[in-house]
Amino acid sequence: MLSQHVETHQLLELLGDHPAGVGYLLKDRIPEVERFLESVRLVAAGESVIDPEVVRRLVGKPRRASSVARLSDKEHQVLALMAEGRSNRGIAQYLFLSVKTVETHVAGIFGKLGLPPAPDQHRRVLAVLRYLHDQ
């Protein structure tokens, strides 16, 4: 990727789970032709090349903690099963818990994800979307 601006979220998206063969260079470095050509060769060979300014901004900027990361292990399990489309009863059967216990975990998930009751929103869907986004 060749960019005029440092966009760390784009870099993280590019790197994904398989960072091989990825390049993120800034346009203002193009006058350094030899360096640019070497970067292109490295990326073509499967290496990753990231402009030092991008790395500096990425490392210097604290990443926002995922709200899903704040969930307990059991809440995370429950949310993953919600993402599979299971009902509270289905989750309870799968995890060998009571439905009431699952409801308690679901309430904890909603609280930690900052999803208060709202008549025009479906908190279960919003929680699953947040879970899927963080995966």
Show Cβ contacts of residue 113 under 8 Å, excluding neighbours closer than 6 positions.
67, 68, 71, 126, 127, 130
**Cα separation, 104 vs 126, whole angstroms:** 18
**Cα separation, 73 vs 51, whole angstroms:** 37
Report yes or no on whether pTM surpasses 0.75.
no
Q: In order of start, what are the domains of the chain with their CATH numbers?
A: 2-60 (no CATH), 68-134 (1.10.10.10)
pLDDT at 94 exceeding the cut of 70: yes
pLDDT at 6 exceeding the cut of 80: no
Task: Please check whether residue 71 is in contact with residue 80, taking contact to mean a CB–CB distance below 8 angstroms.
Answer: no
Write out pLDDT tens, residues 27-50. 776 777 887 788 888 888 887 777
**Cα separation, 16 vs 24, whole angstroms:** 13
For residue 24, what is the enclosing H or E element?
Answer: strand 23-26
Write out pLDDT tens, residues 77-92. 999 999 988 899 999 9
Task: Give the pLDDT of residue 29.
Answer: 65
